[in-house]
């Protein structure tokens, strides 16, 4: 940099450890939850669905963001830009690459959550909302990539402007782009987060169970908080010439946010695994009512633990939703057509009994 460092600045100051530590920790946590999610599916003999494949793809992209952050630290991220150990050109090249990795991981997580909601809430009104959310996410993804391509002309000016005063080119206001991009991501996070709540609240189940299920979905609010914190730190990137120092927190939260999103997306899918590991948590006393025995065997699902019977799953399509947050017999929404005597596609039991007495005709003789 042409300008000298401020008086009294310690050029040996290094915060790279505080960058790499949280990034590696959150990447490990995200990996653990994805493994638990896949294990939960496979141990219940259920096939992987679109949302599972998308979350695996998101984890790969998250590894990309974490790896780029670590590489940026190697070139000087987290140190003052005037330090001889800083390679500004390499740091800015990693920032340019990071835009592409971040632009892929976030929408992939959102699409995974949308496909998950679509699978467990096969309701027409919800499908319309989810389709609109998917349209927003895909449009946002494409818009980000288009801007990444045209933000600087030529592309090399993105990093050359910081190391070569004679470099020719022009760029958009990159920092405003980062902030606007982050704000749009947070808004879509909130929209997707609120989609399932009205439908859960309409289910025929005790209020305490509704609150518990809503609480599981609201855990996704952590990614909204992480997104807001990320936007806050993005505002510091363009303040002053000490670029490699000012970008440190933004890099941290840009890597932490996707990992938290992956964890939040996996949480509602872990119920079957928890139920297998801790079956006592899911048992009730006879006074509290009957509890279905959730297994992969339909014949066992027909009878509860205390002898009462429950409706069988009417198709494999419905049975495939038996793995997330208990959205089956306990909290099933019946949208089937109804006739005068009940649902047309269900088994009805007639409870009235006719008594008849037959007498031998010879008894009257």
Residue-range domain boundaries for the chain: 16-273
d(CA 127, CA 117): 9
Report whether 80 contacts 11 (CB < 8 A).
Answer: yes
Q: What is the CATH number of domain 16-273?
A: 1.20.1070
51-75 tens-digit pLDDT: 899 999 999 999 999 999 999 999 9
pLDDT at 146: 92
Q: Is 169 left (phi over 0), alpha (psi -120 to 50) or beta?
A: left
pLDDT surpassing 90 at residue 362: no
Say whether pLDDT at 41 is over 60.
Answer: yes
Q: What is the pLDDT of residue 316?
A: 40
Peptide bond just before 172 cis, omega within 30 deg: no
pLDDT digits (tens, 9 = 90+) for 297-316: 444 443 333 333 333 343 44
The single residue listed with the structure tokens 């980000």 is 144
Instruction: Give residue for tokens 């066992």.
Output: 300
Q: What is the dihedral of CA 271, 200, 227, 152, to 10 degrees?
A: 110
Tokens found for residue 244? 């490699």
C-alpha 223/C-alpha 207 separation (Å) is: 26
* Cα distance between residue 31 and residue 155, in whole Å: 34
**CA 8, CA 137: separation in Å to the nearest integer?**
47
Q: Which residues have CB under 8 Å from 170's CB, separation 6+?
A: 152, 153, 157
Q: What is the mean pLDDT of residues 168-191?
A: 86
| pLDDT of 54 | 93
Return the pLDDT at 204: 64
* Average model confidence (pLDDT) across the chain: 75
Please say if the pLDDT value at position 35 is more than 50: yes
Q: Residue 203: what pLDDT?
A: 65
pLDDT at 341 over 80: no
What distance lies between CA 20 and its chain's CA centroid? 23
DSSP category for residue 285: -
Q: Parallel, antiparallel, or unpaired: how do β-strands 338-339 and 342-343 relate? A: antiparallel
Residue pLDDT, tens place only, 193-252: 877 777 777 666 677 766 777 776 777 777 888 888 888 888 877 777 888 898 888 888
**Within its chain, how far is the Cα of 33 from the centroid?**
11
Q: Which two tokens stand for residue 342?
A: 């009940």
* pTM higher than 0.75: no
Work out the widest C-alpha separation in the chain, in whole angstroms: 128
């Amino acid at each position: 940099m042409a300008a000298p460092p401020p008086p009294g600045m310690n050029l040996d100051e290094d915060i790279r450890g505080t960058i790499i530590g949280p990034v590696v920790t959150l990447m490990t946590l995200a990996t653990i939850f994805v493994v638990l999610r896949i294990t939960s599916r496979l141990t219940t003999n259920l096939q992987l669905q679109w949302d599972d494949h998308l979350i695996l793809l998101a984890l790969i992209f998250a590894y990309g963001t974490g790896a780029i952050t670590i590489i940026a630290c190697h070139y000087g991220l987290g140190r003052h830009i005037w330090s001889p150990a800083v390679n500004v050109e390499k740091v800015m090249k990693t920032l340019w690459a990071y835009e592409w990795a971040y632009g892929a991981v976030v929408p992939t997580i959102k699409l995974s959550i949308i496909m998950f909601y679509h699978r467990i809430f096969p309701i027409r009104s919800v499908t319309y909302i989810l389709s609109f959310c998917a349209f927003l996410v895909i449009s946002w993804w494409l818009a980000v990539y288009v801007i990444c391509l045209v933000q600087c002309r030529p592309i090399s000016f993105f990093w050359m402007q910081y190391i070569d005063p004679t470099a020719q080119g022009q760029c958009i206001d990159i920092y405003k782009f980062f902030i606007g991009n982050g704000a749009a991501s947070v808004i879509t996070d909130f929209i997707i987060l609120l989609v399932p709540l009205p439908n859960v609240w309409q289910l025929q189940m005790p209020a305490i169970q509704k609150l518990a299920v809503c609480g599981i979905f609201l855990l996704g609010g952590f990614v909204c908080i992480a997104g807001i914190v990320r936007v806050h730190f993005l505002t510091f990137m363009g303040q002053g010439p000490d670029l490699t120092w000012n970008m440190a927190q933004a890099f941290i939260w840009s890597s932490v946010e996707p990992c938290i999103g992956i964890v939040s997306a996996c949480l509602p899918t872990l119920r079957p695994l928890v139920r297998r590991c801790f079956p006592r948590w899911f048992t009730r006393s006879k006074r509290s009512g009957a509890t279905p025995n959730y297994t992969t065997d339909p014949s066992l699902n027909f009878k509860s633990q205390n002898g009462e019977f429950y409706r069988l799953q009417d198709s494999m399509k419905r049975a495939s939703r038996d793995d997330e947050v208990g959205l089956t017999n306990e909290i099933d929404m019946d949208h089937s057509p109804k006739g005068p005597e009940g649902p047309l596609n269900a088994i009805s039991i007639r409870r009235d009994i006719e008594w008849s007495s037959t007498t031998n005709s010879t008894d009257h003789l």
